[in-house]
Amino acid sequence: MGESPTGLSGLSIKIFADGADLQQMRALARLPHIAGFTTNPTLMRKAGIADYERFAREVLVAISDRPVSFEVFADDPDEMIEQGRVIASWGRNVNVKIPVTTTAGVFCGRVISTLSREGVVLNVTAIMTVEQVRQVAERLSPDAAAIVSVFAGRVADTGRDPVPLMREAARLLAASRPKAELLWASPRELLNLFHAETAGCRIITMTHDLLAKLENVGKDLDAFSLETVRMFHRDATGAGYAIAVPARSAV
């Protein structure tokens, strides 16, 4: 369990596990190829988390050696700043997630600049355009570490190719805010790991279900084909399916 999948050798991108299942997070924290963790209020609600701070503190007890992102959920900029300060105080490895805009679509520039100047490590999230990346970069302190999360998977859901966008975002950050790491968020398939690497992203988030597919990286396709055939046969026979085949007539 402690070994990295062999197909990941040579990749420089960091993999962050995305989820809100504490038991799974503890297990993933034992894997050397998991470089960090992210979660959000939606994932936490789906996981049945009732007490936000209690859950966060339990996570930080279990994971103290890698970054963990927790998101503010206030919608007023002043309240966002206050929540960000509180969340940052929970642990030295905490990254504070700030949405790129309020629910009214107002850019959270003042929130980003205030917290970034104070040395809070931000993870600016829900970004989907190069212009948003540019706006965020302008507000980040050049001396502060940060993560810029572009939801490439959701961009792809609109029928657009996210790779050119991510390449341009990576170029922009490298030129203006080299301490800010570009993150490929919401991947839809394992191939996105390699898309993110070639686009110049520093980090990719992957759900627990997607992480389970890492063992397939570099797998022999003939062997994979045979496994698939055997899976179909096993499931059909295991379900007791039957097809009435007419008796053959004598020749």
- Residue 60 is encoded by which pair of tokens? 């930080």
Q: Are 98 and 125 in contact (CB under 8 A)?
A: yes
Query: 10-216 belongs to which CATH class?
Result: alpha beta
Amino acid at 7: G
97 is catalytic: yes
pLDDT band at 7 (very low <50, low <70, confident <90, very high): low
DSSP structural state of residue 2: -
Tell me the sheet residues that pair with 15: 34, 204
Task: Assess whether pLDDT exceeds 90 at residue 248.
Answer: no
**Contacts by 30-36, CB closer than 8 A, 24 or more apart:** 30/1, 30/2, 31/1, 31/2, 31/4, 32/2, 32/3, 32/4, 33/4, 33/5, 33/8, 33/214, 34/66, 34/211, 35/66, 35/67, 35/203, 36/66, 36/67, 36/68, 36/69, 36/95, 36/203
Task: Assess whether pLDDT exceeds 90 at residue 2.
Answer: no
pLDDT above 70: percentage of residues in the chain: 96
- Residue 111 is encoded by which pair of tokens? 């929130």
pLDDT tens profile 73-103: 999 999 999 999 999 999 999 999 999 999 9
Per-residue pLDDT at 95: 98
Q: Which of 46, 97, 213, 219 is catalytic?
A: 97
pLDDT band at 3 (very low <50, low <70, confident <90, very high): low
pTM of the model: 0.92
Q: Of 179, 178, 197, 174, whose CA–CA distance to 187 is shortest?
A: 197
